[in-house]
Each structure stands twice: as C-alpha cells, then as structure tokens.
Amino acid sequence: MSNSRLAAVRRWFNVSTLTFRMWNFTGTALLNLFIFLAIVVYLSPLTYMVTTSLKTASQLSDSSAPIYPAAAVTFQYQGADYPVVDVPVDGRMKQWALVNTFRKYSEFVDPADPGRGLIRWDGYWGSLKKVYRPSVTFGNFAYLWENQGYPEMLKNSLVVVGLAELGVLCSSILVAYGFSRFRIPGGKFLFFLCIATIMIPDSITLVPQFVIYTRVLDWNGSLLPIIVPHFFGSAIYIFLLRQNFKTIPRDMDEAAMLDGAGPLRTLISIILPQSVPVVVTVALLQFFNMWNEMRMSTLYLSTAMDLRTMAFSAQAFVTIGFTAEMLQASAIILMIVPIVVLFVAQRFFMQDMVVTGIEK
C-alpha cells in the first residue's frame, strides 16, 4: 500500500501510527492465511484422485485399509508370506503374522521373535485388521501404458489436437481479420449472428450432424467428424481475436499497404506479430478443449478401437465401470497431466485473459 493511502486510512480510523501498523500487519497476515487455506480446501478433492491412482488393487478391496497409498505388511515364515495383523492380547495390540486360521482360534508368529513358534490366539481372525505402511505404486500407470494401447491413444490425441488447432487458428484468424478491418455490407449483422451462434446448444445440431456424418459422408469410425468442423472457425475465438485486432492502430496497416502489401500480407506481417498473446491464448484454449474432447468422440469413435483418444478412454473407463478404480484414476491423471503442465508452463494465457477482460 502506498504511503499516501496508508496515511489516508490512518486518518480515517484516527489511530496512532504504531497501532495502525499492527492492525495493518494483522490484516495482511489474516488475508494471506485465509487465501492459503482457501486454496488448500479448493484443491483438496484432487488428492482423492492422486492417492487412488497410487494404490494397489488389494488395498482398494480392503475396506479397513488407510486412505493414503499403503501396502499390507507381510512376514516371511518358513518360506511363505503371511499378513501382519493387529492382535489384541491382554488389552494391548500386538503386531503378529497370521499363519493358520480356524473358526474358534488362530495361530500367529511374532515377527519380533519368530523362534517362539506358533502362538495360539482365541477369537475369530476375520475381525482383525491388517497392518499397513505407506507405500506408493506406479504400476497402474505402467499397466495402462503397456496393456491398454496408450502410446497409440497419445498419438491419436495429438493428431486430433494438432489438426483441429491448425484448422481453427487459420480459419478464425482470417474471419476475425475480415470482421475487424473491412466494411462489409451487413457486416454488423453477420458479426452479431456469429456471436449469437456461441449460444446455440450443441444438442440442437446433434441429430442432423449425426445423420449427415454417418449416412451421407460415411465418416463413422473416423477422426474426420471431430476435426473437420474446426476448419470453419469457432465463433468465440473469432470474437476474442477480432476484439484484439481492433485495438491495433490502422496506421500500421496503411503503412504496409503503402509498401504494396495486400490484405493477406498485412495480416501476416502486421496484425499477427502484434497479436501473439491472443493467438497463443486461443491456441491454448483450443488445445484444452480438444484434448478434453469427449462429446464427438463418444458419438463417432465407439466402433473404432484403434482411433481412441486418451480423453475418450478415460471417460469410457469411468462411465462403463468395468475398469478397476485405481486404473480409472490413473487414466484420468495420464490424460490431465499434459494439459496441467502446459497450463502452468505458459504465461501469455493469464495475461491475455486479463487484457481481454479489460477490453470487454
């Protein structure tokens, strides 16, 4: 806070400098503490997914297992592994390995003193809880990668994202340039129409599109219905790009035109270099959208196993439910990690979203 503002606030509250400084510090500390707690709570549900992906199948099937990734402790006795359980003996818990189970009693070995031999304990062994110690497995990811065709899926995801990105960027930039720089008869109405299409729910075009793609064009089981529509531009990106292009002074265009540049040349050498942040923003938004794409792939890829994307598989694993829970979690994480890394790695995006906000 600037000094003049501090002074103004101090006069407002009519307190001494020291008291005010203390209050000011307390306020700052409380605010930061509050936001810190808020972000911890905000992100805490993610821990469920992460911990589940690091667990083994045997831990998930044991309802008494801890919620953190852990492995059951075993003890090797005479060449065989036995689970270590908590046994109540004389009011105290002993951690013994369960060797023989019977209905009325069970036999144990004390791992601390195996030479003592089998210890008989009266009671039903089913009520005893296994001893766990923290242990993390990455086997779920390895399993998915090796047995569920993930390299292929990654390739498909990248093909979908790459081509859709190329299509949407080229077309949206051209259209936004057209909207921002030319006086077109009815241009305002067309732009209004373009914005209006953002509001149209997908379900209204779903049935006719499905009939056209599957019956007329015979694109069922191919990536075409997912990629081709992006070559016609996307209304919301056109809006974002056009708003940004409008802020670039026209003097620059005119200077270029003076040098003999045509409209396309002006777009490439004048407009685009000054619009790198917004173009990167659009590219990133499109990347996230296409990487997470599930609607279209559910419709058109369910018959084409070899074309499945990572998003499609993650969704199929969760909704169909034949896949074990830890594999579902791992599939989701495998799919999310690339976009989270990409998101954290960039700076443009945030800044430009802010710029867009100011402008709007």
Task: Report which secondary-structure segment, H or E, holds 192.
Answer: helix 187-198
Contacting other proteins within 289-318 (CB under 8 A): 289, 292-295, 298, 311, 314-315, 318
Binding of other proteins at residue 49 (CB under 8 A)?
Answer: yes
Tokens of 318: 């969760």
Cβ neighbours of 220 (radius 10 Å) = 17
Phi, psi (degrees; rounded to nearest 5) at 266: -60, -45
Tokens of 358: 């100011």
Please state the closest distance from residue 223 (CB atom) to other proteins, in A.
16
How many CA atoms within 13 Å lie on the side-chain side of 18?
0
Q: Point out which span in 88-96, 105-113, 122-130, 256-264 binds other proteins (CB under 8 A).
A: 256-264
Pick from 133, 187, 269, 306 the residue near other proteins by CB under 8 A. 187
Q: How far apart (Å, rounded) are the C-alpha atoms in residues 245 and 234?
A: 16
Contacting other proteins within 225-244 (CB under 8 A): 229, 231-236, 238-239
Q: How far apart (Å, rounded) are the C-alpha atoms in residues 157 and 149?
A: 12
* Per-residue interface string for the shown chain with other proteins, residues 89-128, x marking contact by CB under 8 A: ----------------------------------------
Residue in this structure with the two tokens 């070559």, named with its chain if needed = 231
Q: Strand 105-109 vs strand 129-130: parallel, antiparallel, or unpaired?
A: unpaired
Pick from 7, 112, 142, 193 the residue near other proteins by CB under 8 A. 193
Q: Point out which span in 70-78, 137-145, 216-224, 351-359 binds other proteins (CB under 8 A).
A: 351-359
Q: Output 18 or 43, the one with its CB closest to other proteins.
A: 43
Pick from 42, 105, 124, 138 the residue near other proteins by CB under 8 A. 42
Alpha-helical (H) ranges within 248-320 are: 250-258, 263-266, 272-274, 276-291, 295-300, 310-320
Amino acid in position 302: S
Please state the closest distance from residue 138 (CB atom) to other proteins, in A.
19
Pick from 7, 22, 37, 39 the residue near other proteins by CB under 8 A. 39
